[in-house]
Amino acid sequence: MPYYRLTLETGDALDDGGAPVVWAACPDLPGAYEEAPDDAAARERLRDLARRIIAEHIVREDPLDPAISAADTPPTGDDPTTLLVAVSEADLAAARAAPLLVIEAPEP
């Protein structure tokens, strides 16, 4: 199972209702942005979304940003600026069965 390492950015914001939230994003993976009440929840939601986006890219044979590295074994250590995402065969099967998350418009 490959492990993908993505650059992680986090911060604080207010949601539409004015409540404080924590946001997490992976700038090298378009669409990978989540908000939650706390840091751990934002990261976990982002990891789930990133797994779906990466699986969809793999299924469509669409290349990922070169800044996203992959390894067959999980890296050691904990880096707070990195999000580690494992993508399994089950994730790929789910991506094949699900509607596309990313729909690209053809160029004129």
Residue 54 belongs to some domain of the structure: yes
Residue 39 belongs to some domain of the structure: yes
Mean pLDDT of 85-97: 95
Sequence-ordered strand ranges (E) for the chain: 3-7, 9-14, 20-25, 33-36, 69-71, 82-86
In this structure, the strands spanning 3-7 and 9-14 are unpaired
Mean pLDDT of 51-65: 92
Residue 11 belongs to some domain of the structure: yes
Please give the pLDDT value at position 100. Answer: 73
Residue 13 belongs to some domain of the structure: yes
SS3 label, residue 7: strand
Residue 104 belongs to some domain of the structure: no
Residue 106 belongs to some domain of the structure: no
Give 20-56 pLDDT, tens digit per residue. Answer: 999 999 999 988 999 999 999 999 999 999 999 999 9
Give the domain extent around 69.
Answer: 3-97
Instruction: Compare 93 and 63 and report the one with higher pLDDT.
Output: 93
Of the pLDDT bands very low, low, confident and very high (cuts 50, 70, 90), residue 13 is: very high
Helix axes 39-59, 89-97, angle to 10 degrees: 70
Q: Domain of 29: which CATH number?
A: 3.30.160
What total of structural domains would you count in the chain?
Answer: 1
